[in-house]
Amino acid sequence: MNIILSGGGTGGHLFPGIAIAQEFKRRGTDHNILFIGSKHGIEARVLPQKGFQLETTVIKGFQGKGIQKKIRSLISIPYALAQAMITVKKHKADIIIGMGGYISFPALIAGKAMRIPTAIHEQNSFPGLSNRIIGRCADRVFVSFEESSRHFQKDKTIYSGMPVRREFFSNLTVPDQNTFCVFVCGGSQGARQINRAVAEALPRLTGLKERIRFIHQTGPADCDDLKQCYREHGFEATVAPFFDDMLECYRQSHLVVARSGAATLAELALCARASILIPFPYAANNHQEKNARVFSERGAAHMILSEDIPSEPLAHCIIALEKNREKIAIMQKKAAALAQPQAAATIVDECCRLIAITGKRRSHVH
């Protein structure tokens, strides 16, 4: 089969798509998979490493932009659609799967125009603008949170869960109990607010200095400053703009400090890791806070809202959890209960069924 996965820009849109692609590949090496994304997004660096083909599109974002950028976005749509139709035809796509975000839009519209089966996956508890629009005409809608189902047509919406890359399916060993390891991860681009909160929290954590260490994914902007900050305060820390082996970071950690994008939450659940979640306050429709509440209300995470001064509650929470390993163990079990390891398989099963149904309809017509 020829499969197109459309979407990217951030890890939250890309990594679930990679999980679906890996599941297709697991079932047969003859599956031909193409990603459509942006040359400026994380996909341009990650996909070649994973052995997947990428073609880029020129469409620009619309939601949350100023009037001039919105006009440019609208102007870019016709060219992006024409480009997508050429790509879809050249690839002889059997199905197009959109992973959300404006980048996924042209390929899905092209698929509908060319009568090719289409599906979308909505990662968050509140759907993004592109998925709310394209969900009206897509043949299948897969959702990570049951809460988002109500925004789509009931008879074509499937609660699949969030697909997670296959490398996360290995059983994680218990981290070293002599040192308490905190993994700080603001997402694939980093998070300046979290970086600053951790830096300001370090003086409050000096009492833990001999028994705590950090792994910190900073994003490209703050890496050098954070390295210097950890050195000045005398903390052991492994600091980098981005970690390719995220599983190893989870493996070493007792506690994760992170944003609450849906992909991050799925990884936390599958890895059974306790977390402190600091939702991105400007996420569309405040979906990160809604995501985080699902975990915090079920006891899998502690949530700190951004209107708080994050450094003080962050330090307090780290200190309390380092002292209470039983609480960490309970949070780990609660997180594991939220894992959805079947998500990619559910999506691939239904996509194969959709392709088979569409093929029979076409043969009837002919």
d(CA 329, CA 358): 48
Question: How confident is the model at residue 141, as a pLDDT?
Answer: 97
Same domain for 210 and 313: yes
Same domain for 190 and 128: no
Question: How confident is the model at residue 366, as a pLDDT?
Answer: 41
Burial of 343 (0-12, 13-18, 19+ CB in 10 A): buried
Same domain for 331 and 352: no
Q: What is the pTM of this model?
A: 0.83
Same domain for 235 and 144: no
Same domain for 217 and 154: no
User: What CATH number is given to the structural domain containing 48?
Assistant: 3.40.50.2000
Worst-scoring range by mean pLDDT, 15-19, 75-79, 155-159, 284-288?
Answer: 75-79
Same domain for 108 and 54: yes
Of the two residues 307 and 118, the one the predictor is more confident about is 118
On the question of pLDDT at 138 being above 90, the answer is: yes
Q: Per-residue pLDDT tens for 87-118?
A: 999 999 999 999 987 788 889 999 999 999 99
Same domain for 315 and 233: yes
On the question of pLDDT at 242 being above 70, the answer is: yes
Average pLDDT over residues 266-286: 90
Same domain for 279 and 201: yes
Q: At 360, is the pLDDT very low, low, confident or very high (cuts 50, 70, 90)?
A: low
Question: How confident is the model at residue 310, as a pLDDT?
Answer: 75
Q: At 154, is the pLDDT very low, low, confident or very high (cuts 50, 70, 90)?
A: very high
- Number of structural domains found in the chain: 2
Same domain for 179 and 149: no
Q: At 12, is the pLDDT very low, low, confident or very high (cuts 50, 70, 90)?
A: confident
Can you read off the two tokens belonging to residue 142? 């897969």
Nearest residue to 98 (alpha-carbon basis) of 86, 107, 87, 110: 107
Same domain for 259 and 307: yes
- Residue 318 makes CB contacts below 8 A (sequence gap 6+) with 182, 201, 205, 208, 212, 255, 257, 276
Q: Per-residue pLDDT tens for 287-301?
A: 899 889 989 999 999
Q: Per-residue pLDDT tens for 199-238?
A: 999 999 999 999 999 999 998 888 999 999 999 999 999 9
Average pLDDT over residues 64-75: 62
Question: How confident is the model at residue 175, as a pLDDT?
Answer: 77
Of the two residues 51 and 66, the one the predictor is more confident about is 51
Question: How confident is the model at residue 361, as a pLDDT?
Answer: 55
On the question of pLDDT at 285 being above 90, the answer is: no
On the question of pLDDT at 39 being above 90, the answer is: no
Q: What mean pLDDT value characterizes the chain?
A: 89
Most confident region among 27-31, 252-256, 310-314 by mean pLDDT:
252-256
Same domain for 32 and 55: yes
Same domain for 175 and 122: no
Q: At 365, is the pLDDT very low, low, confident or very high (cuts 50, 70, 90)?
A: very low
Burial of 2 (0-12, 13-18, 19+ CB in 10 A): middle
- What range does the domain containing 34 cover? 2-163+342-365
